[in-house]
Amino acid sequence: EIVMTQSPLSLTVTPGESASISCRSSQSLLFSNGSKCLNWYLQKPGQSPQLLIYLGSSRASGVPDRFSGSGSATDFTLKVSEVEAEDAGVYYCMQSLHTPLTFGGGTKVEIK
């Protein structure tokens, strides 16, 4: 089973500032074609998770370009530029390379 480790556990951000979340996998998430099998989700209070980023750096439909993903085979970063109040919630990374599919423990983002 691939273990996903996120940091920090939580952070508080002022509107207009940037936030970065890290995610590390216990093994390489590179697919045979070179794609990075890492997704990012945001779960707002009382809601189901929603897809933000897939394949490491591709934004899902309707996701603002303030959200960006990057990374290597095992280390990934989600950056939120110019944070807005609506960005509050818990962010999760998830590896999509092998079953069992596994998630990071989550990073709670609060907006001042």
Partner 1 sequence: QVQLQLSGPGLVKPSQTLSLTCAISGDSVSTDISAWNWVRQSPSRGLEWLGRTYYMSKWYIDYGVSVKGRATIHPDTSKNQFSLQVNSVTPDDTAVYYCARWAHHPRYFDYWGQGRLIIVSS
> For binding to partner 1 (CB under 8 A), which residues are involved?
1, 35, 37, 39, 41, 48-51, 54-55, 58, 60, 92, 94, 96-97, 99-103, 105-106
* Residue 2 Cβ vs partner 1, minimum distance, rounded to whole Å: 11
Give SS3 for 52.
Answer: strand
How many helices (DSSP H) and strands (DSSP E) are in the chain?
Answer: 0, 11
* Residue 112 Cβ vs partner 1, minimum distance, rounded to whole Å: 25
* Residue 28 Cβ vs partner 1, minimum distance, rounded to whole Å: 15
Asked if 40 contacts 53 with a C-beta cutoff of 8 angstroms, the reply is yes
Cα-trace Rg, the chain = 13
Which class for 68: exposed (0-12), middle (13-18), buried (19 or more C-beta within 10 A)?
Answer: middle
Tell me whether residue 47 or residue 112 sits nearer to partner 1 (CB atom): 47
Tell me whether residue 39 or residue 87 sits nearer to partner 1 (CB atom): 39
